[in-house]
Each structure stands twice: as structure tokens, then as C-alpha cells.
Structure 1
């Protein structure tokens, strides 16, 4: 009897030690690291391309085709939101069509399963290609193998933390404007369907799930009860080489919001040149730790207009200068209250300008390169491209500066707006957004800059950087 009592006491003591150690480790996670990072890789890196390395102009055609779709739907979504005060209706939007241009890896579930995710500051939902609700008659869909039909898939049944959101719950009604209205039974999972102008579509169910992330101190931690989409069906080629989307918009259920609850309302990234090869890797960091990259100039700050264009990261632009001369652009182009305004978007490649700004910029820049033979790239919807094989002189290109209302200036690198589109061909990297319309600073324009988003302080920091890890 005494021996059994001693054994019981030893077990209790051992359990207490393990609990105490786990508590200490959790506290060390909180005190020793206040941020975490995710690797960023361009979506055209060789390992993401099924059919080998694409020619440069073919990659550009791919980028611009989805840019056009994306911007068209962003504009339509905003117009429909403006009318929502009087009309309430389900909306299928392509905001989350997932054709952002930089990719990270994310671990989803318990135990975690690893996936390649598009990083998209214009999307509110994090979703992954997924199998859920399998039955014995469909056992082939529920196996433990990592791929189905050649695609990597999250097997919800293998995750102990996967918890579908019931369609009768209050959360289903507010989790996304893309929720379907059908609810056969109170416990039926809350469903969504995204339809795209390109003909692509993603459908699935919402769930709460655990996401495991790496910390900047080398440890790992878990974010629990993150709303994700379990996408069971996709159509079209948009998601061909990725497993899902990491939604980073400024909304209640975006991944950014969950990260902010634990690490503070800040995140930063430094986008390497969009033509970089696989070895050029950087990180997106959530939390108060500053990115490890070196900057080659002073960090400048401007205000983040988080309420101007809901869910997007808007900035207050007041004009554009080229070669030291301010362009004659009507102020309503930059005024969000008049259908204008400007956002930063990691999921759009080119920079889209409302038409009055676009025409003014193109008039000046096209004159600066008019000595070169103008060419047309098949399938590439850019107005002005030229032959650069005969000794292109970059000094001919005047400096373009985006001026913010509070005095800050963004000076993109010249090859971020005179872009290499194909061998021996360069193009002026702008597209018209129409008018009235929101202007978008795309990821090519953002490249080789460190961007710091302070959501609590409502400010945006930016500094030129080679985006190399120090």
C-alpha cells in the first residue's frame, strides 16, 4: 500500500514538473520573442512551375491577365459596398482569387500539414485546398497520402483541431460576405463559393483551425481558432501551383488580425526583385521585431488610411512628379470620398492608376524612351513596350516620385516602372484603372523596399533595401 502511495506521489510530482516546464516555455515564448516570420518566395520560382521555367514575357502575360481581373473586381466590390446601406445580398467576389505574386509556407492543423500559400494583402480569408466530410465510400479521398490528383491537400480528418463553423451560428453570418445562404441543418458547415471572371472558382466550408508558425528566435508557436477556408473544389488555372491563400487584409477574420492579437498590430515585408531566382529569399514578419534586412536610406513614414477604403491598406497620395515636375492630375483622382484613392496590394503585379493619372504619367515616360523602337508583345496588355537590345540607357528615364499628403515621398527604383518584360524588351509598367477608380501600387513597384505596416499607430514606413538578410 505504501509502495502504491509513493508511486502515485511520484506520478503527481512528475506531472507537476511537466506542467511547470510547459508553462515556463510558454512564458519564454512570450517574453523572448514578440514576433514571427514567414519565408517569401516569388510564385514564378522554378519549383512552383509544373512545365519548367517560363519565358519572361510568358510570365508577364500570366501576371497581367490576373492583375486585370483582380483590379476589375476590386473596383466592382467597392461600388457594391457603397450601396450596402440600403441593399443586403450575398456577393461572390474575386478579391480572394489568390493570384498574388509572392508565396510563403504555412503549417495548418494538429499535427501540422505544410502548404504553399500566396501572400495577399488584398484578401481577408486564409484558405487551403482541403478534403473534409469523407465517408467510407469515398475512402480514396481520405487517405493519408499528401496529394490528390497531383495536388497537395489538407486532410481535415487527420487534424484534431479542425472544427467546422456551423451554418446556423452567428459567426457564419459575419465571417465573410461570401458565405452561402443555404443551411440544411443547424450543424451543417458554413459554406462559401468564390466565382471569378476568368472562369475560376473555389468552394468549401469555413472552420476554426490551429496554425503553427516559426518565431524569430528559432522557436515555434501556435495560433489557435483561426478562421480558415477548407476549399474542396477549385476550377481554372489560377491556383495551379499553390495550395491556398494567406489573407492579410485589414479585416476582422484575416490572418493579420489573429497575428496582431498575440504579437502586436504590426507586420513588415521586403519583396525581392520579381525576376529573382530561388535563392533570393526574404521574410514577412508579424510583430514588433524589425526585419533583419539592411536599408540603403532613411525610413520614411506616411499615414495608413485604414478606414478610407475598407479592408485595404490605403495611403493618402496627393500627386506624382517625374523629373522634378509635378504632373497635372486632378485631386479627385486621389480622393477616396469621390471614388478615387490609392492602396498598396501585394497581390497585384503592375501599378494601376486612375486614368487621368495614367495618361499624365505615360505621356512623360513614353517621351523619355521614344528613341527606342516601339514593339508589341503578344498577349501582354501593356500599352508601351520598346526594344532595349541596342544599349538601353537607364539614365534617360526621369525619376518618378509618389508624393503623400503629409510630405513623405516614395521614390521607386527605375526598373520598378520600366520593367524587363522579355529578352530585349522593356515596358512601362503601368495600366489604366479607368475612372473613377482606386489606384493600386503593385508589388513590382514595391520591390526592393522594406515596408512596415503599423495598424495601431496607423502609419506606413518604407525604406529602400536590397532585401538581403543580414
Structure 2
């Protein structure tokens, strides 16, 4: 104290400097004390959480190599996953706009399905495939290592070994043994290099072959072409079923990690849409299946957007139907018919032609509509598996039928065109386009009921929007 006073008296200017330094030191001491208090408080809080354990956080980090049974399957899975990821990154940077694929009726090929064309392999070969929102697997009629029917019944054949980008999935891989089980992969695996095989089942028919990764070339809305690399496809050496008449394969559009939808929406955005032309239209009449672009026709459409349930009946696109009305009359249908948790529920399916309803919904619908058709003679045409068919040779004004309406959650109302539920089954014969699915059962809104409507699936928002359209 004495020294400081003397110094100030002898050198006032120096004393001021010394005083400023002392104040700074005092501030630093206060900051240090505050810092210590904060640190102490944090340590006390951590100790309060668990005073008996180490205060650090430790998470085990393991490389995925530990999951593979042998080096060959490990390398195949690693390179496959990495190539696919890099391909998606590259393609996202490269392509602008959306995918645009022609979509037409299969009436000229004697089937009630809708077709599009895809180009498979390198060099790319064109194939006509069924557009199926209820199928996970995209496959083509294929010949590989001498197996396959080859070209028959006007079908094209994909010769896998002539494609530079064709790579089979090994039967010993995690992909085959675990990931593809829901796609009916088989357990046959004589050697690790043997391709992963499948027996993919449909409601009617099946397809057998081997899984592979391949390049598919598609058109873009900009007019350019895009090559989508590393897509999972099926190389089908044999298949059966009426649905495949006139087709070279199937374009799987279900909500699945392995469907074409999964890759297309990851590249071009989480929306896809289609508009189904009249099912009796010839092949020169078509519309488009589009991925990525949003349609203005479904925007701001009151009463035409409903939640899309993507987890309740996987891998199908489930909608929340809550009732059906004819005209102004709501039909007496038990609520459990529409409850997916009770074995019911409803899906939208482009791969099913007619509309299937649980028996408790089917009876009120067909008997209610039949009351308006009493002037027509009831007939049973050979080969037509529909219960309510009528002779229409004398002509019939469809406007006499009441408007059938599907009422959906959120207030949406789907009002199909009358020709969609009183369908032309044969010359001079009209049938109610419904079949009983039994009890309990999943209700299916088929492609004929969907015709002349634009449907837009928003997988990010989990919504379905729709609007009537000529689709031309």
C-alpha cells in the first residue's frame, strides 16, 4: 500500500496507468470466478444425474462388415450399396424436371391392364410393361445363361448377358437373404456366386427368375433422356397369369424400398401421378405416368384431397374410405369394413381391373344400383366373372343411374364416371363393375373405376389428390 501511494505521488501519469491495470486484473478475477462457478455448477449437475458413473458419453461404433458371413457377400453388398448411393447423388445433380412415361390401355392386347414402355440395359432395349401400383418388383421377360422362353406370343425378350450394365444379386448376400424376402426370394444357394432367385406371387399367376441390378432409361418432361443406374429388376425366365397377356413384364410402383417408385421419387421429388384413359381406348390413345412434376389440375381442388396411409397396408397405397352413397342416400355399410386394423381398409390399385368390395359393402352397392336397371334383362355371359350383368341391346341411358360416391376422410369425395361402374363387358352386355372380396377383406378400387381421373400421390405429405380429366 505504501509503495503504490508513493509511486502515484511521484508520477501521477504512471499511477493512472497502474490503476487501469489493477482494474483490468480485478475484472479478469471476476470473470475467472464466474467461469469457475459455471463449471462447478455443470459438474454438480452431471454428478447429480449419476454420481456413480463416468461422466463421459460413449457410443459403440461398429463397421457394417461385422454383419456379413463371408468376404464375397460382404464386398458385393458394400459395392452395391455404395454404387447405388453414388449413382443417386450423381443423377440428382444431373437431371432436372421429372420422368414422363406414356400410359395407355391394354385393350388391343386383350387385357384390362394399363401399359407403359421402359428401356432396359446397355444398350437399352424397349419393353412393354404393366403399370402396377400394387407390385414391388419391376421385371421383364428375360433370358439368362440359357434359361428363359425367349421371344414368344409377340413378347420381347431381354438377353441379360448382352447388357453391359447387368449385374446379378448374389444368393449369399444380406440383400438376398433378408432384404428381398418380401419379394419372394428363394433360399436356394449352392455357391456364393449363384444369383439370388425368386418366385414372385400375384393374386393370379407368378413370375420366376433371378434378381439383378440394371440400368433403365426413361424420358424426362424436358424432352431429354435419363439413365437410372443400379435399379433392382427381375430377370424372369418364366411367368404365368392373365394379367400379363400382351406384356413383356411389370413396372412395380408399390410403396417399397425396392420399387421403381422408390428410385424415381428419390431423384425427382416425392410426387408421382397418372391419368388412365378409358379402358376401351386403343393403343394410339394415351396419357402419361409422371414422376416429380406437380399437376395444376389437382391444385386447389376442394374436396379432392385425402390422407394417404403408407404404413397401414404395406406396400399398398391405402385410402381412408368411410362410406359409399348412391345419389343422396348413404348406404348402410358397417364401419369395420373400412377399418384396416380389423382386416378391412381400402387401397387404390392400378393393377386390378374391377373394384372389389368386402361382402358387407358389395351387397348394398350392387343391389342398390340394380334397382335402377330393372328395365334391362339380367344375363350371365360366359367367361365373365361378374354377378350383375344386363343386356343392353335395346340401349340404356346411363344418366338414369344415381351418382356413386366414395366418401373419404377429410371430406374428400370421389365421384367416378357412370361408365366406370356400369362397364361394357361384351357386345350388348353391361355389368356392374364390382366383385365380392369376401369377409373380412381389403377393398380395392380398381383401374376401371379410376379411369378418366388424374391421380397425384404425394409421398412426402402422405396425401392423394384427384380430379376428373379426359386424359387426352
TM-score by length of 1: 0.77
Deviations 1:270-318 (A, max 9, x none): 0000011222110000113437x79997672000011111100000111
Q: How does 1:154-165 map to 2 (within 5 A)?
A: 154-165=158-169
* CA shift in 2, pair 1:196/1:412, >3 Å: closer
CA distance in 2: counterparts of 1:422 and 1:114, whole angstroms: 32
CA distance in 2: counterparts of 1:148 and 1:395, whole angstroms: 44
- Corresponding position of 1:38: 101
Which secondary structure state, in structure 2, belongs to the residue aligned with residue 304 of structure 1?
strand
Q: Which moved more, 1:293-302 or 1:339-348?
A: 293-302
Q: How does 1:346-425 map to 2 (within 5 A)?
A: 346-425=350-429
The Cα of 1:398 is off from its aligned counterpart by 0.5
Partner residue of 2:142 out of 130, 144, 155? 130
* CA shift in 2, pair 1:235/1:327, >3 Å: closer
Is 1:316 the counterpart of 2:320? The answer is yes
Contact 2:298–2:466, Cα closer than 8 Å, also in 1: no
- Corresponding position of 1:120: 132
* CA shift in 2, pair 1:458/1:231, >3 Å: same
Is 1:180 the counterpart of 2:243? The answer is no
The Cα of 1:362 is off from its aligned counterpart by 1.3
Which secondary structure state, in structure 2, belongs to the residue aligned with residue 171 of structure 1?
helix
Uncovered stretches (5+) of structure 2, i.e. residues with no partner? 1-89
- Corresponding position of 1:107: 119
Is 1:239 the counterpart of 2:244? The answer is yes
Partner residue of 2:233 out of 209, 212, 228? 228
The Cα of 1:157 is off from its aligned counterpart by 1.1
Which secondary structure state, in structure 2, belongs to the residue aligned with residue 406 of structure 1?
helix
Contact 1:298–1:463, Cα closer than 8 Å, also in 2: no
* CA shift in 2, pair 1:407/1:237, >3 Å: closer
Deviations 1:311-358 (A, max 9, x none): 000001110111111111100000000000000000111111111111
- Corresponding position of 1:467: 471
* CA shift in 2, pair 1:161/1:273, >3 Å: same
CA distance in 2: counterparts of 1:308 and 1:203, whole angstroms: 28
- Corresponding position of 1:434: 438
CA distance in 1: counterparts of 2:154 and 2:467, whole angstroms: 41
CA distance in 1: counterparts of 2:314 and 2:91, whole angstroms: 35
- Corresponding position of 1:306: 310
Name the structure, 1 or 2, with higher relative contact order (CA <8 Å, separation 6+).
1
* CA shift in 2, pair 1:273/1:297, >3 Å: farther
- Corresponding position of 1:192: 198
The Cα of 1:197 is off from its aligned counterpart by 7.2
- Corresponding position of 1:96: none
Contact 1:385–1:425, Cα closer than 8 Å, also in 2: yes
CA distance in 2: counterparts of 1:442 and 1:148, whole angstroms: 29
Normalized per residue, the structure richer in helix is: 2
CA distance in 1: counterparts of 2:452 and 2:263, whole angstroms: 27
Aligned length: 381
CA distance in 2: counterparts of 1:325 and 1:452, whole angstroms: 29
CA distance in 2: counterparts of 1:416 and 1:428, whole angstroms: 9
- Corresponding position of 1:339: 343
CA distance in 2: counterparts of 1:427 and 1:149, whole angstroms: 30
TM-score by length of 2: 0.76
Which secondary structure state, in structure 1, belongs to the residue aligned with residue 353 of structure 2?
coil
Deviations 1:219-274 (A, max 9, x none): 01111110000111234655342111000000110000010111111100000000
Contact 1:295–1:466, Cα closer than 8 Å, also in 2: no
* CA shift in 2, pair 1:41/1:395, >3 Å: closer
Contact 1:35–1:289, Cα closer than 8 Å, also in 2: no
CA distance in 1: counterparts of 2:145 and 2:289, whole angstroms: 33
Q: Which aligned runs of 4 or more in structure 1 are off by greater than 4 angstroms? A: 25-29, 195-198, 235-238, 293-299
Contact 1:34–1:289, Cα closer than 8 Å, also in 2: no
Uncovered stretches (5+) of structure 1, i.e. residues with no partner? 1-24, 50-58, 64-100
CA distance in 1: counterparts of 2:152 and 2:372, whole angstroms: 52
* CA shift in 2, pair 1:447/1:311, >3 Å: same
Contact 1:450–1:464, Cα closer than 8 Å, also in 2: yes
Which secondary structure state, in structure 2, belongs to the residue aligned with residue 184 of structure 1?
coil
Contact 2:106–2:279, Cα closer than 8 Å, also in 1: no
